[in-house]
Amino acid sequence: GDVYGDLRGDDEGAEPIMTQLDHQLDIDIRDDQIVQQFRACFRRPGFAHCVVAFTTSGIVINTLSTYMDYLVTLNGAGRE
């Protein structure tokens, strides 16, 4: 079965419409395309949790890498 089958109706218009005829490719992009794509993503189960987890881990890693020199010398390695 399709896990996301029940959400398909809510995602109408989230993806651009592509039409290919012979050697011509037409892509129809709506004015609110990006907003529709964000809404479609956040309707997926677990997507918001993943965004929070990756954002939190990015902040923690950035903070650790910023203060790494201080944290390494904290144990007294720089003292004589």
Q: Which residues contact 41 (CB under 8 A, 6 or more apart)?
A: 47
* pLDDT for res 19: 83
- Is the pLDDT score of 66 beyond 50? yes
Residues 53-64: what's their mean pLDDT? 95
The percentage of residues in the chain with a pLDDT greater than 90, rounded to a whole number, is 22
Q: What is the pLDDT of residues 12-30, one digit of tens each?
A: 667 777 788 888 888 787 7
* pLDDT for res 57: 97
- Is the pLDDT score of 49 beyond 90? yes
Residue of 61, 41, 59, 40 lying closest to 49 (CA atoms)? 41
Q: Six-digit token pair at 23?
A: 């050697």
